[in-house]
Amino acid sequence: MNGGEGNRESASFCADLVRSHDFARYASTLFMPSDQRRALLAVYALNVEISRVREQVSQPLPGEMRLQWWSDMLAGTSHGGVEGNPVAAELMQAIRSYRLPVERLSRLIDEHQFDLYNDPMPTMAALEGYINDTASALFSLGAAICGRQSDEIEHLARHAGLAQGIAQVIAALPLDASRRQLFVPLQLLQQHGIGMELVFVGKQTPKLRVALEQLIAEGRGHLKTALALLESVPPEVRPVFLPLALIRRDLQRMSRADSDPFATHVTSRLRILWMLWRASRSKEFS
């Protein structure tokens, strides 16, 4: 295979990986120019790879080793395999082409070490730190690929990420509870007289509902701020933030009194595409 074919195959691999495991983010890239879309798919593919490590290992140590490989790759100290890894190849090209901050990507990898263990998320501040280096970082990197970096866009990326991250914590509650993993801050649960074991049982109680409503309210507050900030960003960066339309819908559903946090909810790909298309034509992503 020549270099051009290899590059195309690597790009297709990343697109397929993101489409299979993170369709909402994949769909949002369809509204971007092709070159920017390819770079962002490389970043999203890295995120898929490191987010799935927990599912692919039975013990933390092999997971630590997989994450370390990615950290070494970014640091230029990997012991081989980079050229043969399509995600690594595409990511390095994106970093070179768009001068992406390697330090931000490294923190993204490091933060996912938390996923490998069953230590509970201790506080709201700890959860916000985790989300800032994961979901918020992805929004920030997307804006950088669009050629836009500023304090205002960083502020938007932070709030957008916090809204998305909180929604994801609640959406993942059935899976996390089944493997005795806790991303809902333990401090928040304890404020309402709830222990971890009650969450792991997988049944909603009035006290748990109140605690989750408090967390949902935090997410909705960040979403409101992000949507207000979105109004002043350049048009070319708006597609990066299209997932906010999905987050708005998810947080609204989670807020309903009859919503069961332990019931898995799946949105069809067609509906995701329709919602993003409609949002792309609306100033407020409604």
Average pLDDT score over residue span 133-151: 94
Q: What domain count does the chain have?
A: 2
Is residue 153 domain-shared with residue 285, that is, in the same domain?
yes
pLDDT: which is higher, 283 or 160: 160
101, 132, 150 - which closes a domain: 101
Cβ atoms 225, 159 nearer than 8 A: yes
Rounded to whole angstroms, how far apart are CA atoms 109 and 113?
7
Is residue 79 domain-shared with residue 132, that is, in the same domain?
no
Residue 110 maps to a domain: no
DSSP notation for the chain? --HHHHHHHHHHHHHHHHHHH-HHHHHHHTTS-HHHHHHHHHHHHHHHHHHTHHHH-SSHHHHHHHHHHHHHHHHT---S-TTT-HHHHHHHHHHHHHT--HHHHHHHHHHGGGGGS-PPP--HHHHHHHHHTTHHHHHHHHHHHTT---HHHHHHHHHHHHHHHHHHHHHTHHHHHHTT---S-HHHHHHTT--HHHHHHT---HHHHHHHHHHHHHHHHHHHHHHHHHTTS-GGGGGGGTHHHHHHHHHHHHHSTT--TTS-----HHHHHHHHHHHHTSTT--
pLDDT bin (cut points 50, 70, 90) of residue 58 is confident
Average pLDDT score over residue span 28-57: 96
Residue 108 maps to a domain: no
pLDDT bin (cut points 50, 70, 90) of residue 163 is very high
101, 127, 143 - which closes a domain: 101
Cα dihedral sign, 135-141-142-148: positive
Is residue 181 domain-shared with residue 151, that is, in the same domain?
yes
Is residue 140 domain-shared with residue 275, that is, in the same domain?
yes
245 pLDDT higher than 70: yes
CATH code: domain of residue 202: 1.10.600.10
Is residue 127 domain-shared with residue 269, that is, in the same domain?
yes
Average pLDDT score over residue span 200-216: 94
pLDDT value of position 79: 59
Mean pLDDT computed over every residue of the chain: 93
37, 69, 101 - which closes a domain: 101
Range of the domain at 90: 1-101
Residue 245 maps to a domain: yes
Residue 51 maps to a domain: yes
pLDDT value of position 162: 98
Average pLDDT score over residue span 169-189: 96
Is residue 62 domain-shared with residue 26, that is, in the same domain?
yes
Give pLDDT tens digits for 62-120: 999 999 999 999 998 765 666 689 999 999 999 999 999 999 999 999 999 999 999 99
249 pLDDT higher than 50: yes
Residue 22 maps to a domain: yes
Is residue 151 domain-shared with residue 274, that is, in the same domain?
yes
pLDDT value of position 1: 37
pLDDT value of position 285: 84
